[in-house]
Chains A and B, each alone.
Chain A
Amino acid sequence: MKKESSLDEGKAFCEKPVDFIKELRSTPIKEHGVIDLLGIAAFFLVITPLLSTHRITDFMIFCIFAMSFDLLYGYMGRLSFGHLLFLGTGAYCSGLFIKYISGNPLLAILVGIAVAGLLGMLLGLIVVRTTGACFALINLAFNHIGFFLVLSPLRKITRGEDGFGVSVSKLGFLNFNSGAIMFGFVLLCLLLVFYFLKRLTSSPYGIMIRSIKEDETRVRFLGYNTYLYKWLTFVLAGAIAGLAGGLTALNYHYVNPNVMDVNSNVGVVFACLIGGAGNLYGALIGGVTYMIISNFLPLYIHRWEMFLGLSLLIITFRFRKGVWGYIQSSIEYFIRRKSFFRSV
C-alpha cells in the first residue's frame, strides 16, 4: 500500500509543475548569486555616464526581453520567430490602460504582464504541441496576426501606424517621467527578473526544461507530463516579455506597431546567440552587445544589418556557445591546466 501512495505522489508532482515553487523556496539564497545581482547593477551604473540614462534604460529593457527569450530558446530549446508579439502586447496593453483607464504606471505594467501572460496561456495550448521549424513559424504567424491587428482592425483604439502617446501620472514621489526614476525602476525590474529566472532555472523545474531541450521523449519515459512544463515555460516567457513591453511604453512615452514588427525578432535571436544561449549571463551580454551594435553602428555604416549577418556567420562557425560560453570554456581550460601542472 505504501508503494502505491508513493507512486500517486509521483503522479501528482508530474502533473502539477507548479510544485516547483516549493523547491524554489527550499534552495538556499546564496546559491543564486546575490553577488551577481550587485555585479549586474554595478555594471549598468558604471556604463551609464558613458552613454545616456535613457539609452541604458532601453538596453536594460532589451536585456529583460532577451532573458525571457532565453528561457524559451536557450533553456527549453524552442526557437521562436515571433516572441516580439508578447513584448508588443505588453506595450500596447500598458499604453492603452494609461491612455483610457488610469495613469498609474505600476498598474499599467501589471496589466501588460497579465495580458501577455494570458495570451501566452491561450497560444501556448496550440504552440507547445509543435517543435522545430513548426514552432518557430507558428509563432511568426501569430506575431504577424498581432501586428496587423494593431495596424488595421483595431486602429480606432491603437491609432494604427501613427501610434499613440503615453503619459503617466506621478505615483507619490515617484515620477516616471524622470529619466533617473525610470532608470532605477527598470534596473530593479531587471534584477528581479534575473533573480527569479536564476532560481527557476537552477531548480528541479530548470533541470526539467533543460532535459526537454535534450530529449523530450526520454523525459516522458521518466513519467513527466512534458506538455504542462512546456506550456508553463511559454507562459512565463510571454509574461516576462510583456513586462519588457510595459517598460518600453513607459520609457518611450509612445507606442506604435514597430514594437511588434516581425522583422525585429531577429534582434533577440541574435542577442541570445552572441551572448550564449541557455545562460542568463549570456542573454545579458548578448542583449547589451546587440543594443550597442544597433545603436552605434548605423552612425558609421549605412547598411549596418549586413554586419549582423556576418557576425551570425562567425558565431555559427567559430563561437557556437557565444561569448559567455567561450569565457566559461576558457576558464575551465585554465583550471584544468593549472590542476594538471599541480599534479605533475
Chain B
Amino acid sequence: MIEIKNLDVAYGYAKVLQDISLKIETGQMAFIIGRNGAGKTTLLKTIIGLLKPKKGSITYQGDEISNLSPEELYRKGLRYVAQEKKVFGNLTVRENIEIAAYASQEPIDRALDKVMSLYPKLKDFLKTKAGQLSGGQRQILLVGRALVGEPKLLLVDEPTQGLAAIVIEDIVNILSGLKERVSAVIVEQNLAMVNRLADRVHILKEGKVVGEIIDQSEISNTQGLEEYL
C-alpha cells in the first residue's frame, strides 16, 4: 500500500529524519512510536505533502507521491488527522461534515450517517459551532470527517493526546471498528492503544527507525515498548 524508502527530511540544515524505510500493507494499522522529538509528526507531514523530502521516495499503491500536493493526495484516498484537533471552529458540526462530503461528492445524508454511526452523541451538536465542542468530541469529529468519501489510508497524529480516559476509550473503539476497512498509520504514545490496535509497530529514535515489530506477542509486551518512550 505505502512504502517509504531511504527518506531524509530536514528543517533547513537540521536533519530530522534520516534514512527512513518502512512498508505498510493494505488493511494494516501501523503505529509509529517514539520519544518527543523523534520525528514522528514530521514523518506524517512528509507523507501528506506538507514537507518535501531531501532524499528518498514515498510510493503509494505503486505511484510516487512525495511531490504531490495535499489536495492530490486527498483524491488518492489519503486522509490526515492532525495533532492539534483543529476543526473549523466557526462552522457548525454539520457544516464541518458537509464540507468533506462536497469534496468527495458523497451525499450529505450518507456522510452524516457515517459520522453519527461512529459517535451518535454528535447528533445533539449538529447545529453547534465546532469550536464549542470538547477536545474529545473534536477529535471524534475529525476522525469521522476523515472517513467521508472513500478513504484508503488514514494518517492520524496522536489521537488521544490530552484526552480523558473515558474519551480515549471511545476513540480506541472507533478506530478498532475501522480495522480492515481502512489502512492507517497512527502516531501514538499510548501503549494500551498500540497494544489493542496495532498490526505492526515502527519505533523511531532521533530521526531513525530503530525497530519494527510485527509479532503480536511482542506488540502486547508493553513493558518492552516502554523503553522507547
Chain A min CB distance to B144 (Å):
13
* A310 at the B interface (CB under 8 A): no
Chain A min CB distance to B154 (Å):
12
- Please determine whether B103 and A7 come into contact, CB atoms closer than 8 angstroms: no
- Please determine whether A222 and B100 come into contact, CB atoms closer than 8 angstroms: yes
How many chain A residues sit at the interface, stated as a range, is: 20 to 34
The answer to whether A6 and B70 touch (CB under 8 A), given A210-B91, A221-B80, is no
- Majority-rule SS of A interface residues: helix
Q: Which of these, B71, B82, B95, B149, contacts A225 with CB under 8 Å?
A: B71
Nearest CB in chain B to that of A222: its residue? B103
- Please determine whether A214 and B103 come into contact, CB atoms closer than 8 angstroms: no
Binds B, one of A9-17, A113-121, A122-130: A9-17
List residues 80-109 of chain B with CB under 8 A from any CB of chain A: 80, 82, 86, 88-91, 95, 98-100, 102-106
Residues of A within 8 A of B134 (CB): none
A211 to B102, CA, bound (A): 13
Residues of B within 8 A of A207 (CB): 91, 95, 98-99, 102
A211 to B98, CA, bound (A): 11
- Please determine whether A13 and B103 come into contact, CB atoms closer than 8 angstroms: yes
* B69 at the A interface (CB under 8 A): yes
Q: Which of these, A9, A215, A222, contacts B74 with CB under 8 Å?
A: A222
The answer to whether A220 and B70 touch (CB under 8 A), given A10-B149, A204-B102, is yes
Q: Which of these, A7, A11, A208, A210, contacts B150 with CB under 8 Å?
A: A7
Residues of B within 8 A of A221 (CB): 48, 70-71, 74, 79-80
A219 to B71, CA, bound (A): 9
A207 to B95, CA, bound (A): 7
A13 to B103, CA, bound (A): 7
Count of residues in B whose CB is under 8 Å from the partner chain = 29
Chain B min CB distance to A321 (Å):
11
* B77 at the A interface (CB under 8 A): yes
* A318 at the B interface (CB under 8 A): no
* B75 at the A interface (CB under 8 A): yes
- Please determine whether A6 and B86 come into contact, CB atoms closer than 8 angstroms: no
Nearest CB in chain A to that of B74: its residue? A223
Nearest CB in chain B to that of A220: its residue? B70
Residues of A within 8 A of B48 (CB): 221
Nearest CB in chain B to that of A11: its residue? B75
* A224 at the B interface (CB under 8 A): yes
Chain B min CB distance to A280 (Å):
16
Residues of A within 8 A of B100 (CB): 222
* A218 at the B interface (CB under 8 A): yes
List residues 1-30 of chain A with CB under 8 A from any CB of chain B: 3, 6-7, 9-11, 13-14
The answer to whether A10 and B86 touch (CB under 8 A), given A208-B99, A210-B91, A222-B103, is no
- Please determine whether A6 and B105 come into contact, CB atoms closer than 8 angstroms: yes
- Please determine whether B90 and A210 come into contact, CB atoms closer than 8 angstroms: yes
Chain B min CB distance to A4 (Å):
9
- Please determine whether A6 and B104 come into contact, CB atoms closer than 8 angstroms: yes
List residues 96-146 of chain A with CB under 8 A from any CB of chain B: none
- Please determine whether B150 and A6 come into contact, CB atoms closer than 8 angstroms: yes
- Please determine whether A214 and B88 come into contact, CB atoms closer than 8 angstroms: yes
Q: Which of these, B79, B88, B104, contacts A211 with CB under 8 Å?
A: B88
A222 to B69, CA, bound (A): 11
Contact string, A221-235, partner B, CB cutoff 8 A, digits 1/0?
Answer: 111110000000000
A3 to B61, CA, bound (A): 15
Residues of A within 8 A of B145 (CB): 222
List residues 166-220 of chain A with CB under 8 A from any CB of chain B: 204, 207-208, 210-211, 213-215, 217-220
- Please determine whether A223 and B99 come into contact, CB atoms closer than 8 angstroms: no
Q: Which of these, B70, B88, B149, contacts A215 with CB under 8 Å?
A: B88
A208 to B100, CA, bound (A): 10
Residues of B within 8 A of A13 (CB): 102-103, 105
A213 to B88, CA, bound (A): 9
Q: Which of these, A14, A218, A220, A224, contacts B88 with CB under 8 Å?
A: A218
Residues of A in contact with B (beta carbons under 8 Å apart): 3, 6-7, 9-11, 13-14, 204, 207-208, 210-211, 213-215, 217-225
Q: List 6 A-B contacts (CB under 8 A).
A: A13-B102, A207-B95, A217-B50, A221-B79, A221-B80, A224-B103
Could you list 7 further interchain pairs (A-B, Cβ under 8 angstroms) beyond the known A7-B104, A14-B75, A211-B88? A6-B150, A13-B105, A204-B98, A204-B99, A207-B102, A214-B89, A217-B70
Of all A-B residue pairs in the complex, the 9 with the closest CB atoms, nearest first, are A223-B74, A9-B105, A223-B103, A220-B70, A10-B104, A10-B105, A222-B103, A204-B102, A3-B150
